[in-house]
């Protein structure tokens, strides 16, 4: 498609599957209300319950209050060891496609002769997750945010590196949206209990891990080699333009002399 471009090895071209049927963002917009809210997003704004500590009695009381407020069977349960289990809902708002494994059987290249064995060629199929995809997870109170990301990727059989994704805490207040990226060690179910069941007070969103700095360790070797080739081409183009500009300046000076 002229609206989408990708770079890959020529032998891998036939194995890439991307649905690029229109310009980026076409048919992929949130409703106006969400856009108006997201316009004033504050990232990494600390939560009022982020540092709240509860003793065993307070945890038990909070669980009772939580279960009395929900209109479903997604209850929290207190365990004998003091931990508790419950459900969290995560919305997946991914802009870029994800990769899942696929296997293709390749027949023998010699027509008419049965090959010794057909070979299973590993490949990836890329696709965009539908907007508004939601997943409920049953987790423990000590389940970490990084483990939630791993579990979500397993549910959708996504083979991309988990470090390419981040779990965000989202809340609405005074017609603004507050987003905070959870640290790997944070416990989402604990945040869910402290915030209560309201999705406006707290909801969880899986997004790309946009840190402002590129985490090169999250890429595979072929991807890194490809980036190096792209950088080399860009560098060569910049050098060519710079030499051309200096050559013109030198020519103008000689003409003036």
pLDDT tens profile 121-171:
467 788 888 888 999 999 999 999 999 999 999 999 999 989 899 999 999
Q: Of 19, 49, 238, 41, which Cα lies nearest the Cα of 125?
A: 19
Note if the pTM is more than 0.85.
no
Q: Do 222 and 9 form a contact (C-beta atoms < 8 A)?
A: yes
The Cα 59–Cα 194 span in angstroms is 9
Residues of the chain with pLDDT under 50: 1-2, 22-29, 31-33, 35-36, 39-40, 104-112, 115-121
Three-state DSSP at 7 gives coil
Q: Residue with structure tokens 């049953």?
A: 138
Rg, C-alpha atoms of the chain: 26
Cβ neighbours around 149 below 10 Å, total: 22
Which token pair is 204?
């969880």
Write b or e for each residue in 9-23: b if 16 or more Cβ atoms lie within 10 A of its Cβ, otherwise e.
eeeeeebeeeeeeee
- Predicted pLDDT of residue 28: 46
pLDDT at position 20 = 56
Q: Looking at residue 111, what is its pLDDT?
A: 44
pLDDT reported for residue 47: 57
Of 206, 215, 100, 87, nearest to 152 by C-alpha is 206
Between CA 194 and CA 201, with CA 209 as vertex, the angle to 5 degrees is 25
Q: What is the DSSP letter of 161?
A: -
Q: What's the confidence (pLDDT) of residue 12?
A: 64
DSSP 31: P
CB atoms within 10 A of CB 80: 5
The per-residue pLDDT for 210 is 75
Inter-residue contact 163 to 103 (CB < 8 Å): no
């Amino acid at each position: 498609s002229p609206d989408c471009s990708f770079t890959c090895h020529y032998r891998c071209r036939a194995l890439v599957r991307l649905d690029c049927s229109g310009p980026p963002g076409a048919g992929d917009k949130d409703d106006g209300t969400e856009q108006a809210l997201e316009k004033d997003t504050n990232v990494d704004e600390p939560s009022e319950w982020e540092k709240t500590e509860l003793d065993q009695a307070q945890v038990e009381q909070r669980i009772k209050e939580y279960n009395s407020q929900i209109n479903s069977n997604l209850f929290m349960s207190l365990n004998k060891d003091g931990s508790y289990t419950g459900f969290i809902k995560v919305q997946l708002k991914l802009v870029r496609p994800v990769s899942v494994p696929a296997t293709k059987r390749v027949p023998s290249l010699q027509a008419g002769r049965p090959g010794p064995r057909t070979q299973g060629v590993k490949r990836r199929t890329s696709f965009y997750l539908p907007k508004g995809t939601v997943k409920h997870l049953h987790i423990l109170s000590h389940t970490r945010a990084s483990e939630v990301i791993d579990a979500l990727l397993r549910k959708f059989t996504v083979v991309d590196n988990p470090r390419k994704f981040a779990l965000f805490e989202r809340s609405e207040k005074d017609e603004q949206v507050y987003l905070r990226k959870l640290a790997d060690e944070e416990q989402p179910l604990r945040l869910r209990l402290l915030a209560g069941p309201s999705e406006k007070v707290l909801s969880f969103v899986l997004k790309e891990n946009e840190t402002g700095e590129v985490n090169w360790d999250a890429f595979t070797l072929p991807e890194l080699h490809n980036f190096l080739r792209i950088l080399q081409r860009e560098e060569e183009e910049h050098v060519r333009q710079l030499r051309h500009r200096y050559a013109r300046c030198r020519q103008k000076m000689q003409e003036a002399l």
